[in-house]
Chains A and B, each alone.
Chain A
Amino acid sequence: MTSVVQQETGEKRLYGSRCSRCGYVSFPAMTVCPKCGPAYSKEVKPIELPSVGTVITWTKLQVAPKGFPSPLVHCIVDLGMVNIIGTVQGTSEIRSGEKMAIVKDPTGKFPFIFSRSLMETKPT
């Protein structure tokens, strides 16, 4: 299981993995903890990731690779326990430090997308 969608809000919950020995969280989920190594793979369990995070850095890619729409806004979001990458709806400029929610992509193109709109309707 990598994700679950909340039908009412469009919010999407992602699942990563957490090492119960050292607490390290991986996304995408890993079989082995990158810190503790293969000897402690049994300690690695699934974990639901927070649905909201903070933008660390971003860019607007003018020419996306074949099969993706251009331009494409990418940002790296700090979820507190792990940093993940994704795209943002629309093509407006964003700011480092801005809050982003993880939501379902209505087009089905991406595994998930980041959205500000959920942030506007939902208190953080």
Chain B
Amino acid sequence: MTKFGKREDKGLIELAVEAGLGALNDSGQKELKVDAVYVGNAASGQFCGMENLGPIVAEQLGLLPCEAEKIENTTASGSCALKEAYRAIAGGFLDCALVVGVEKMTHLPTEDVTKIIAAAMTHPTGETVHGVTMPSLAAMFSRKYMEKFDLSTRHLALVAVKNHGNATLNPYAHFQKKITLEEAMSSRIVADPIRVTDCAPISDGAAAVLLQSEETAPPTKPTVMILGMGHSTDRQMFYQRAEEFEITAVKEAGLKAFHDSGLAPSDIDVAELHDAFTVLEIVESEDLGFFPKGQGARALEDGLTQITGEMPINTSGGLKGRGHPLGATGVAQIVELVWQLRGQAGQRQVHGARRALACNFAGLGNSVVATVLQGS
């Protein structure tokens, strides 16, 4: 993957090519035939005035005449691109596919980026017309959740402090600076009770993984297997969903991924969760079954989600610390977990990590993809 952050040095396609080449070279196979290139991207048309990323990236990587297409599902675009590759290979249609997630956003003013994201992720006639943005939805969700489970803004800040800390151990992360609890709790308010340190940043970047069928993968490299993937969708407007205090699509996607992999939450050694807003990491840690409902904040406070804890979450820094180039995020989660499962995560290595879970979603959990991985 590329370094995430403000990448004035590279354009959208250059970032995708850098990440794609990285994954191809990592496989170490000189005569590799790539059957398909799936590019996960949320809004290149609006951010960069550019579409057709699949064929462009495939051509730039010298992989023609492979299949090539762009896959869009807002902030879940990366994991949806992975899902297409996984299904195509597992179904026997392809042997090898390259999955690239990419976004370039930082060249635009924040108010333009906010507007593009709001248009992409809020309900067009129910929310967008009221000036609703992702931070306003996350703030209203946070307030309700905090009242119900007696969470304070300190709990939200603890997520930010942890993930910023982890990011300093990740050379690819957007943020390379630790923050203190006091800094987090006194940072600028974006939408009460959410502060700027509760929001993932606007980032540029790309990430890529190469998927191969079990039969054609070379035995030369420590490989990582996808054991299961689940994808579930819920109502757009979170306050019209059947369950008020859970993200049901997270639960459903997780259950499907666990079912397919024959594993349980307790089998997972490390997880990358979708912390676009700090509260979400806590909610997902409960809805995926790592902690009982209402106990996620306590687990965080007790250090269970630290790299050295019982259930390490977002060792990469998460969306909060690694950065959040929308379409790249779902793939970057997988890259981090592959490094963890191969024992290549350096200072942030979870000792003996063998099984991992990624949870990547669109909006406030209206479309969620969960992936269970196993190391060799």
Question: Which A residues are within 8 Å of any B CB, using their own CB?
Answer: 26-28, 34, 56-68, 72, 74-76, 82-87, 96, 110-111
Contact = CB atoms under 8 A, between A and B. Distances in A.
B143 interface: yes
Contacts of B216: none
Given A57-B144, A59-B191, A74-B140, A86 B114 contact: no
Contacts, number: 87
Nearest to A78: B239
12 contacts: A57-B141, A59-B143, A59-B193, A61-B131, A61-B190, A65-B118, A74-B140, A74-B191, A83-B237, A83-B240, A85-B130, A110-B129
Interface string B143-159: 11001000000000000
Given A28-B126, A61-B136, A56 B239 contact: yes
Nearest to A86: B130
A59 B140 contact: yes
Contacts of A61: 131, 133, 135-136, 139, 190-191
Given A34-B235, A86-B130, A87-B131, A58 B111 contact: no
Contact of B130 (A27, A57, A82, A110): A110
A54 to B, nearest CB: 12
Nearest to A82: B240
Contacts of A27: 126
A85 B144 contact: no
Given A76-B239, A85-B239, A87-B131, A57 B125 contact: no
B140 A58 contact: yes
Contact of B129 (A64, A76, A82, A111): A111
Contacts of A67: 115, 131
A73 B319 CA distance: 26
Given A60-B192, A110-B129, A72 B136 contact: yes
Contacts of B111: 63, 65-66
B132 interface: yes
A84 B189 CA distance: 24
Contacts of A83: 237, 239-240
B46 interface: no
B140 A65 contact: no
B191 A62 contact: yes
B198 to A, nearest CB: 12
Given A57-B143, A57-B144, A62 B130 contact: no
A74 B136 contact: yes
Contacts of A66: 111-112, 114-115
Contacts of B130: 74, 85-87, 110-111
A62 B136 CA distance: 9
Given A65-B115, A65-B131, 6 more contacts: A26-B240, A28-B123, A56-B144, A65-B118, A66-B115, A76-B140
Contacts of B188: 62
A57 B190 contact: no
Contacts of B118: 65
B125 A59 contact: no
Nearest to B190: A62
B139 A59 contact: yes
B60 interface: no
A85 B132 contact: yes
A74 B95 CA distance: 49
A62 to B, nearest CB: 6
A68 B131 contact: yes
A72 B131 contact: yes
Interface in B166-201: 188-194
B237 A85 contact: yes
Contacts of B194: 59
A13 to B, nearest CB: 17
A111 B130 CA distance: 8
Most buried by B among A34, A66, A68, A85: A85
A-B pairs, top 4 by smallest CB distance, nearest first, are: A68-B131, A59-B139, A65-B115, A83-B239
A19 to B, nearest CB: 14
A63 B190 CA distance: 7
B147 to A, nearest CB: 7
B344 interface: no
